[in-house]
Structure 1
Amino acid sequence: MSIPNIITLGRILLVPIIIWAIASNQMEIAFAIFVIAGVSDAVDGFLAKRFNMASELGALLDPLADKALLVSIFVTLGIWGAVPIWLVILVVSRDIMIVGAVIVSWLFNKPVPMKPLLVSKLNTGAQVAFAALVLAALGFGFDSSPYEALLMAAIAILTLVSVSFYLVEWVRHMSTIDPQ
C-alpha cells in the first residue's frame, strides 16, 4: 500500500463526512473538507508521478474517489435544493452509464481500456468548480448565481458530449465481439 493510495483512501473516507456536513447545514465545514479532498487529490497524483509510486490499485481508486465525492455532493446538494435536480440526474446518469458499460464489457470478457478523454477531464473540472462555488456561496453567504449558471451550462454540454464519445467508443469496442 503506497502513500498515494493511502491518501486516496483517506479522500474516500472524507465522503461521508462531507455529506454529513451538507446535510447538517455546516457548509463552511463542507467547503473546507472539499478543499482538503482537492488538495489530497493533487498531492497523491504528484507523489505517484514524481516518485514513481503509480500503481494499478491507485489507477482504480483515484477516479473512484473523485466520482464518489462529486456524485455524493451533487446528490446531497440536489436533495438539499441547492442544485437543480435535472443537473444531478444528468451528472449521475452519465456515471451510471459508463460504469454499466464497463460491467457489461467485463461480463462479455471484453474489458474496455479505461482512458479518460479530454472532454471528461474538462467536465470533471467544471463539476469541481461548480461544487466548490456552491459550497462556498452557501457557507459564506454570497451570490454566485451568474457563475453557477455558466458552470451548469458547461457541465450540461460537457456531460452530453462526454457520454456521447464514450458511448460511440464502447459500441465500436463491443461490435468486435464474435456472435456465437
Structure 2
Amino acid sequence: MSTTGEAVAEKVAVSDRVLTVPNVISLARLLLVPVFAVLIGAGEDGWALLVLAVSGASDWLDGVLARRLGQVSKLGQMLDPAADRLFILVTLVGLAWRDVVPWWLVLVLVLRDLLLLGLLAVLARFGYGPLPVHLAGKAGTFALLYAFPLLLLAEWPDPIGSIALVLGWACAWWGVALYWFAGGLYVLQARRVLLASATQAPPTSAAV
C-alpha cells in the first residue's frame, strides 16, 4: 500500500461490521436517489433541493459519526462514495435533460468514474480493495453537490437566478477540476500499490 494508504490505515481502524449508524445513514442516502430522480424529473425543484440538502448534511454526518463512534467499516467505505456518485450522476442527467447544464459535463464526470471503475477492477485482480478516499476527491464531490442546487436556483427570477448561476458554475468548474485531480492521484496511488505487489507475495486480504 502506498504511503497515503498506510497513513490512513494507521489513524483509522477499519472493521468488517455491517450494521452501524454511519452505514444506516449511507443506505438512507442511497434510497433518496430514486426519490430525487422523480422530483427533478417532475420539475419539483423545491422538494428536489430539500432532498439534496438532506443528502449533503447526511454525507457530512455519517463521516463524523464513523470516526467519533469508531465505526469506520469496509462496507461504509463503499456505500458512502457510491451514494455520492449516484447523486451526482442522477442530478447531472436530470439537469442535462432539462437543458440546465450541457451534456458534455455529464460525459466529463462519467468518464472519470469509468476510469476509477477500471482501476478498481485491476486492483481487485491483485487482491486489493478500494483505495482510501482522498481529500481532493471529497472536496470535488462537495463542490459538485453545492453546484447542482445552485444551478437549479439559476432558473429562478433575478437577482437570485443570476447570482446562483455564477456561483453554481464556479462550484461546478472547481468540482470538475478537483474530481479529475483526485482521479490522477488514485491512478498514481494504484500504480505504487501494483508495483509493490510485483515484488511481494500476493495479499491474503483486501487492502484498506
Calculate the TM-score normalised by the size of structure 1. Answer: 0.85
Q: Does 1:137 align with 2:154?
A: yes
Amino acid at match of 2:193: H
The question of 1:102 aligning with 2:148 is answered no
Equivalent-residue separation in structure 2 for 1:113 and 1:14 (angstroms): 24
Question: 1:117 deviation in Å?
Answer: 2.0
Name the CA shift for 1:146/1:14 in 2 (closer, same or farther; >3 Å): same
Q: Deviations over 1:70-93 (max 9, x none)?
A: 222112212221112221111111
Q: What secondary structure is seen at the aligned counterpart in 1 of 2:30?
A: helix
2:176 aligns with: 156
1:41-95, CA deviations, whole angstroms, 9 ceiling, x for partnerless residues?
Answer: 2222232222223322222211111111122211221222111222111111111
**Separation in structure 1 between the aligned mates of residue 73 and residue 41 of structure 2, nearest angstrom:** 35
Stretch moving more, 128-137 or 87-96: 128-137
What residue is the counterpart of 1:126 in the other structure? 143
Q: Secondary structure at the match of 2:154?
A: helix
Change in 2 beyond 3 A, CA 1:81/1:64: same
Q: 2:97, 2:176 → 1: CA distance?
A: 19
Asked whether the equivalents of residues 110 and 174 of structure 1 are also in contact (C-alpha less than 8 Å), the reply is no
Contact map agreement 1:98 1:163 (CA 8 A) in 2: yes
Q: Secondary structure at the match of 1:70?
A: helix
- Paired residue type of 1:21: L
Question: How big is each residue's C-alpha offset from its partner over 1:114-173, in whole Å with a ceiling of 9 and x where there is no partner?
Answer: 1122321221121111112123334x5422222233223323322332222222333343
Structure 1 unpaired stretches of 5+: none
The total of aligned residue pairs comes to 177
Q: Following the alignment from structure 1 to structure 2, what is the Cα–Cα distance between the partners of residues 51 and 11? A: 19
Amino acid at match of 1:154: W
CA offset at residue 113 of structure 1? 5.0
Between 1:66-75 and 1:142-151, the stretch displaced more is: 142-151
Q: Which moved more, 1:24-33 or 1:109-118?
A: 109-118
Deviates more, 1:64-73 or 1:42-51: 42-51
Q: Classify the secondary structure of the residue corresponding to 2:97.
A: helix
Q: Name the larger-Rg structure.
A: 2
Larger proportion of helix: 1
Task: Specify whether residues 54 and 22 from structure 1 end up closer, same or farther in structure 2 by C-alpha distance, changes over 3 A only.
Answer: same
2:95 equivalent to 1:80: no
Show the 5 A alignment for 1:45-84.
45-84=63-102
2:101 alignment partner, SS class: coil
Contact 2:39 2:47 in 1 (8 A): yes
- Contact 1:71/1:92 (8 A) holds in 2: yes
Specify the SS of the correspondent of 2:132: coil
